[in-house]
Amino acid sequence: MLHDMKCQLLVSLAACFAAGAVQAAEFSWEPSAVTNEAEQNSVDADRLSFGVTYYFDSVDDTRGPLALAAFIDPATWVSVSFDREKGSVLAPFTFPLFPTGVDTTTDEYSVAGRYVLPASKWYFGGGYTHGDLDPPPRTQPIDGDIEGYGLVVGKYLGADTTLELAFDSSDLRNDLNPFCSVAPCPLSAIETQSDAWSLAAEHVWRGRGAVAYSVWGRLARTEGSAAFETALPPSTVESAFGPWDQYSVAGEIFPTQKLGFRVGYSRWDAASAPHADAYDLSATWFATHKVGIELVYSQQRFRSGFLNNYDSDATALRIVGRF
């Protein structure tokens, strides 16, 4: 039922934009909708996202691939978004702490923006996210809150190359029901906090005709801590984790102005994860200048011992409109 509702919403949005589609050269508004389905061992998650971005200076989409319009013609922007994720954990993997399994709904609200200096092409930006993790009333043991923010500073090195430095911080707190099932829970709350610094670069090469290429790379380091609180007796145990280094690269080819194919790969380097990597494949197609569709498949592998191994797969469909 949830999947059918997602498809209907996305199709309706696409039809709305396609109905009035004409050849356009500029846009200021960019609404989007995304549906994402992920599986990770015993965990299933469905996410539905809606967002809108406003560019204060109209973006010219005639200088290259439509998917790269905002990169090729940078402008100051602000965006807001809403995400809802429904997740479930199967019972056999939660025993004995949560013997009936866990079903949760997470709502996230985000705002972000970026200011571009027209002459020097330096840019500065940031974002803030607040989320609530809520189980069905009186049936599940977890209630959580998510807070996160990010800062970025970057510069265009010429017309087609960017270099940027970013900092991201997040805090997740899970308050546990004192009676998980028939016995008191050993924990009353779990709080994790993480900070990440990253350095990224992107370059676009535009060849003859409509053919173009995009290459992207990123280095990131993440560190954090976890605090475990107990009610009886009252106590808190803290533990640090990291650092984790992540290396990511991606390449995209645009055989036409409306069509693009992307391949990406990431690897994590950490003592706690002897083998952890991920890859993604995507295709982007703009049916008109006003509506585009993106399909994404990604897979992640994590190996750090007998009890902490997992594979995750995710598929996503994104529809974007422009006017």
What residues does each domain of the chain span?
2-321
pTM, whole model, 2 decimals? 0.83
Residue scoring higher pLDDT (241 or 140): 241
The reported pLDDT for the residue numbered 135 is 62
The residue among 177 and 256 whose pLDDT is bigger is 256
Contacts of 238 (CB under 8 A, 6+ apart): 225, 226, 227, 228
- Which of the listed CATH numbers 2.40.10.10, 3.40.50.800, 1.10.260.40, 2.40.160.40 matches domain 2-321? 2.40.160.40
- Kindly state the average pLDDT of the residues 192-209: 92
What was the pLDDT predicted at 5? 46
Q: From CA 25, how far away is CA 63, in angstroms rounded?
A: 9
Is the pLDDT confidence value at 311 over 60? yes
Concatenating the DSSP letter of every residue in 243-298 gives: EEEEEEEEEEEESSSSEEEEEEEEEEEETTEEEEEEEEEEEEEEEETTEEEEEEEE
Q: What is the mean pLDDT of the chain?
A: 84
Q: How far is CA 51 from CA 65, 69, 127, 162, in A?
A: 22, 18, 14, 25
Distance CA 126, CA 309 (A): 34
